[in-house]
């Protein structure tokens, strides 16, 4: 049963990231859209995703296997983009956001029942592996034709559906609402919850600005679609490798984790914004991918082990993605994309200094 969950996660992550990168190129080259419109497309789907996951955290679905059918709905919504004008594309992305908001938290909810570090780690490897394949293949698939990625996305969604439907009976038997295990009966600090969630938000805030807007900047710098896909793929490979190293690890708590992560996010944003040589871009991608994996690992482990709503975990991810893409798009339109990335990196560093003031009081004295 869990192999079906891993496989479906792999297919849907592949489909989502293939579509995301290809859509940015599609809008820039075929629809002739500017940075703001491209950023707004990332905002629309991710804002919907955030809103629906937040609502589901308050009102859970009664049908615990409904997420199986969202795979078909996601593939169909994204496939119809090929035939749609820009206004209708926004509507289809909103639909995709709704269906993904049901799919991912439900998949993660299956692991609350078992409380197994290794299975959670394998899940992270499979979905992040799908993200890698989707990203690396995006440039090649898009170069065949700007329309091919949408057909591939539909095929992957159908494959995920048949993988899950074959295990529907087993999935329906899972009781994902369970009390805390004996080793987790001690409550987690609300301050710690807030810090872990904020760091994961900043991770996806930076990632959203890069995923949706860097294809535009890369094209302006003369990079090929293949290199753009490879660059983002490198970021994801470093995240995958870090997930592998963290596969059976519990929460990792260190006093300097927040400020150090924010510093690394800041450096990678600046290098990506102003880097004109492939090696600099690749190094920045590795830094961001490794740091982001740590933030995600802690967040998912915390929500599953302490029986917190996985919908909130996904809501934070969506909020980071839509706000990152929207703000980067606005800043890119007002100034330019390189400066936008510097401003985003600086903002992340300031947040890191503020959240770390209790551990490093001297950090905030210079900015107050």
- Structure tokens that stand for 10 in this block: 């792999």
* CB contact at 8 A, 77 and 95: yes
Stated pTM of the model = 0.85
Report how far apart, in Å, the C-alpha atoms of 129 and of each of 116, 302, 356 are.
Answer: 20, 22, 33
- CA 115/CA 110 separation, integer angstroms: 10
The half-sphere exposure of 281 on its side-chain side, counting CA atoms within 13 A, is 22
2-365 has which fold?
Growth Hormone; Chain: A; (1.20.1250)
Domain locations in the chain as residue ranges = 2-365
pLDDT digits (tens, 9 = 90+) for 313-368: 999 998 888 788 889 988 998 999 999 999 999 999 999 999 887 655 544 444 44
The contacts of residue 158 (CB under 8 Å, 6+ apart) are 71, 72, 75
Mean pLDDT of 213-222: 86
Mean pLDDT of 133-144: 86
pLDDT digits (tens, 9 = 90+) for 139-161: 889 989 999 999 999 999 999 99
């Amino acid at each position: 049963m869990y192999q079906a969950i891993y496989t479906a996660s792999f297919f849907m992550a592949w489909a989502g990231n293939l579509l995301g990168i290809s859509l940015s190129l599609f809008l820039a080259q075929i629809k002739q859209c500017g940075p703001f419109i491209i950023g707004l497309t990332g905002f629309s789907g991710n804002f919907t995703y955030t809103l629906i996951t937040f609502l589901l955290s308050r009102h859970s679905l009664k049908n615990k296997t409904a997420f199986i059918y969202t795979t078909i709905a996601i593939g169909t919504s994204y496939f119809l983009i090929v035939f749609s004008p820009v206004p209708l594309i926004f509507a289809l992305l909103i639909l995709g956001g709704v269906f993904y908001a049901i799919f991912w938290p439900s998949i993660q909810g299956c692991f609350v029942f078992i409380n197994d570090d290794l299975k959670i780690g394998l899940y992270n490897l499979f979905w992040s592996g799908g993200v890698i394949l989707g990203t690396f293949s995006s440039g090649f698939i898009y170069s065949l034709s700007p329309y091919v990625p949408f057909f591939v996305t539909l095929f992957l969604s159908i494959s995920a559906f048949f993988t899950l439907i074959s295990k529907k009976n087993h999935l329906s038997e899972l009781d994902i609402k369970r009390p805390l295990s004996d080793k987790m009966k001690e409550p987690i600090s609300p301050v710690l919850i807030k810090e872990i969630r904020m760091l994961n938000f900043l991770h996806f805030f930076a990632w959203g600005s890069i995923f949706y807007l860097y294809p535009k900047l890369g094209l302006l710098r003369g990079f090929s679609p293949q290199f753009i896909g490879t660059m983002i793929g490198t970021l994801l490979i470093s995240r995958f490798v870090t997930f592998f190293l963290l596969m059976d690890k519990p929460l990792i708590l260190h006093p300097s984790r927040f400020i150090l992560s924010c510093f690394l996010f800041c450096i990678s944003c600046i290098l990506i914004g102003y880097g004109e040589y492939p090696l600099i871009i690749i190094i920045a991608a590795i830094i961001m991918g490794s740091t982001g994996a740590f933030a995600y690992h802690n967040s998912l482990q915390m929500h599953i082990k302490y029986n917190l709503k996985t919908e909130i975990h996904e809501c934070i991810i969506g909020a980071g993605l839509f706000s990152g893409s929207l703000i980067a798009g606005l800043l890119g339109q007002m100034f330019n994309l390189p400066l936008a990335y510097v401003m985003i990196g600086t903002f992340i560093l300031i947040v890191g200094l503020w959240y770390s003031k209790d551990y490093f009081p001297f950090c905030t004295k210079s900015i107050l």
